[in-house]
Amino acid sequence: MTLLAARLGELFSILSVLAFAFGGVAIAKARKSGPGDGGAILSVGFTALLSAVLWLSMARGSENLVGRPGALAGLAWFALSGLLATALARSLYFLSVRDLGAIRGAAVKRAIPFFSVLFGVVFLGEILTSAKLGGLLLIAISVAALVAVDLAGSGKFSAPAADKIEPLGYVWGTASGLCYASAYVARKFGLNLVPDGALGTFVGAMAAMSYYMLAALVSRHRRRTIVTALIARNVWSLVAAVCFAAGQIANFYAIQYTAISTVGAIQSLEVFVSMLIAAFLLRTERAPNLITIAAALVATAGVLLVVA
């Protein structure tokens, strides 16, 4: 992996963080603005549409996959990553944000770096250097500080007191992080066989759409949920859907060009980007206190160690 490719992957990862962070805040806004699931189902459709347009406009050789060695296996890995990330992890994350708010939801989702580093070492042979380990410890400390302050009831950056916080959201967020990290590994395996991020995103989104269609056929509750989500006139659900589609595509390209442990570490900054957007740009949650700001600085230092 060349230095230029690694830096390109880091850039895509940063773009993914920005898109996911804004999308997470949009979910919280959507919950307060009207019915629907916050854009989870819509985001799958937008992901398929945008990635298809991108692939058709930029495909270089991967449009002819028939007979290519390993192509079928690569597509299967893409489909698995879609089920893990687009269908399962994203739905769990939307539930977490619904129960905890944008900032808490993003904080708990920061389990991704630890799962991704573990999976990267075990399944992909990535090297865990002392600098990377130190960076991950700093990220762990920063996120743990956020959650501890929140649980102690002294956080000043959380959602307004009028919003009831559901502790089960912490479970949803942790499970989402595990599923996302698993999807990273599946994407990497697929990209090793078919190095096309747009195609991989499209196949994954189509697999997720197939999951929703099958679920609608066998479950009346799921069918009613999907219909409600699609007909809900909620602008913020639409914004969340577009952001998550863009973030998914950028994440795929990030994994194509750099290690999944690096991608996971950079994306741990999402909680702090979400904090800034929620508190200062859209003003959906309260401004951060000094502990939160210090945690953000510590996490930033950790990410710099990981990508150095």
Q: Which pLDDT score, from 0 to 100, does residue 160 have?
A: 43
DSSP tag of 159: S
CB neighbours of residue 127 within 10 Å: 9
The tens place of each residue's pLDDT in the chain, 308 residues long, gives 577 888 899 999 999 999 988 988 887 777 776 665 556 778 888 889 999 888 888 765 555 666 677 889 999 999 999 999 877 887 888 788 777 776 677 666 666 777 887 888 888 888 878 887 888 788 778 777 766 776 665 444 444 444 556 778 878 888 888 898 899 899 999 999 988 888 999 999 999 999 888 988 998 887 887 887 777 777 888 888 899 899 989 999 999 888 887 887 787 777 778 888 887 887 777 776 777 678 777 877 877 787 66
Question: Token digits for 38?
Answer: 């916050």
pTM score: 0.77
| Gap between the Cα atoms of 54 and 98, Å rounded | 31
- Between CA 199 and CA 62 the distance in angstroms is 8
> How many whole angstroms separate alpha carbon 165 and alpha carbon 24?
16
d(C-alpha 59, C-alpha 197), whole Å: 10
